[in-house]
Amino acid sequence: MSLKTDDRKFDARTAAGIEDAFMRGAVGSAQDSLKTRRLTAATALGDWEQWRELGQQIRQHTLENLDYYLGQMADNVERRGGHVFFARTKEEASAYIRDVVQSKNARKVVKSKSMVTEEIEMNHVLMEAGCEVIESDLGEYILQEDDWDPPSHIVAPALHKNRKQIRDVFASKLSYAGDETPEHLARFARDILREKFLEAEIGITGCNFAVANLGAINLVTNEGNGDLTAALPKTHIAVMGMERIVPTLEEMEVLDNLLCRSAVGQKLTSYITVMGPREPGEVDGPEEFHLVVVDNGRSEILASEFHEALQCIRCGACLNVCPVYRHIGGHAYGSIYPGPIGAVITPLLGGYDDYKELPYASSLCGACTDVCPVKIPLHEQLVMHRQNIVSQGRTGVADRVQMKAAGKLLSSPGMFRGTLRVAYSMTRLLSRHGRIVRGPGPIEGWIGIRDMPQPVKKQDGFRSWYEKRERVDRSEVSSMTAADIRKKAPSAHGDFNAAVLPEAGPGRDTSVEEAASPIGKEGRRP
Sheet holding 288-294, edge to edge: 83-87, 288-294, 235-241, 202-205, 108-111, 132-135
Which span sits near other proteins by CB under 8 A: 171-179, 202-210, 217-225, 340-348?
217-225
Note whether 93 binds other proteins by CB under 8 A.
no
Considering only residues 140 to 159 of the shown chain, the ones binding other proteins according to CB under 8 A are 142, 156-159
Q: How far is the CB of 137 from other proteins (least distance, A)?
A: 7
Nearest to other proteins of 175, 391 (CB atom): 391
Note whether 314 binds other proteins by CB under 8 A.
no
Residue among 9, 12, 43, 71 that touches other proteins (CB under 8 A): 71
8 Å CB contact between 217 and 124: no
Note whether 372 binds other proteins by CB under 8 A.
no
Q: How far is the CB of 205 from other proteins (least distance, A)?
A: 13
Q: How far is the CB of 378 from other proteins (least distance, A)?
A: 11
Q: How far is the CB of 2 from other proteins (least distance, A)?
A: 22
Considering only residues 4 to 43 of the shown chain, the ones binding other proteins according to CB under 8 A are 11, 14-15, 18, 26, 29-30, 32-34
What region does 440 belong to: left with phi over 0, alpha with psi -120 to 50, or beta? beta
Which residues 6+ apart lie within 8 Å of 27 measured at CB? 159, 160, 325, 326, 329
**Strands 216-221, 271-275: pairing kind:** antiparallel
List the one residue out of 71, 372, 51, 48 whose CA is nearest residue 247.
Answer: 71
Note whether 430 binds other proteins by CB under 8 A.
no
Which amino acid makes up residue 263? A
**DSSP H or E stretch at residue 432:** strand 431-432
Nearest to other proteins of 4, 364 (CB atom): 364
Considering only residues 317 to 336 of the shown chain, the ones binding other proteins according to CB under 8 A are 321, 323-324, 326-328
First-to-last alpha carbon distance for the chain, in angstroms, is: 46
Note whether 279 binds other proteins by CB under 8 A.
yes
Nearest to other proteins of 130, 413 (CB atom): 413
Residue among 198, 398, 401, 422 that touches other proteins (CB under 8 A): 198
Nearest to other proteins of 119, 251 (CB atom): 251
Q: What one-character-per-residue DSSP string does 264-280 give?
A: HS-SS-SEEEEE-SPPT
Considering only residues 169 to 188 of the shown chain, the ones binding other proteins according to CB under 8 A are 182-183, 185-187
8 Å CB contact between 160 and 320: no
Nearest to other proteins of 210, 272 (CB atom): 272
Which amino acid makes up residue 8? R
Note whether 95 binds other proteins by CB under 8 A.
no
Q: How far is the CB of 350 from other proteins (least distance, A)?
A: 19
Residue among 77, 93, 126, 264 that touches other proteins (CB under 8 A): 264
List the one residue out of 445, 420, 451, 449 whose CA is nearest residue 522.
Answer: 451
Cα dihedral sign, 303-305-308-310:
negative
Nearest to other proteins of 210, 264 (CB atom): 264
Which residues 6+ apart lie within 8 Å of 270 measured at CB? 221, 222, 223, 224
Note whether 89 binds other proteins by CB under 8 A.
no
The span from the CA of 111 to the CA of 118, in Å, is 11
Q: How far is the CB of 124 from other proteins (least distance, A)?
A: 22
Helix (H, G, I), strand (E, B) or coil at 324: helix
Nearest to other proteins of 71, 128 (CB atom): 71
Q: How far is the CB of 202 from other proteins (least distance, A)?
A: 14
Note whether 135 binds other proteins by CB under 8 A.
no
Considering only residues 456 to 495 of the shown chain, the ones binding other proteins according to CB under 8 A are 456, 460-463, 465-467, 470, 477-478, 481-483, 485-486, 489, 492-495
List the one residue out of 336, 235, 232 whose CA is nearest residue 292.
Answer: 235
Helix (H, G, I), strand (E, B) or coil at 218: strand
The span from the CA of 7 to the CA of 83, in Å, is 37
Considering only residues 388 to 427 of the shown chain, the ones binding other proteins according to CB under 8 A are 388-391, 395, 399, 403-404, 406-413, 416, 419-420, 423
Residue among 283, 393, 397, 473 that touches other proteins (CB under 8 A): 283
Where are the strands (E) in 235-383, listed by range? 235-241, 245-246, 271-275, 288-294
Note whether 302 binds other proteins by CB under 8 A.
yes
Nearest to other proteins of 133, 156 (CB atom): 156
Burial class of 331 by CB neighbour count within 10 A (0 to 12, 13 to 18, 19+): buried
How many residues bind to other proteins according to rule CB under 8 A? 203
How many other C-beta atoms are found inside a 10 Å radius of the C-beta of residue 216?
A: 25
Q: x/- contact string, 495-514, with other proteins (CB under 8 A)?
A: xxxxxx---------x-x--
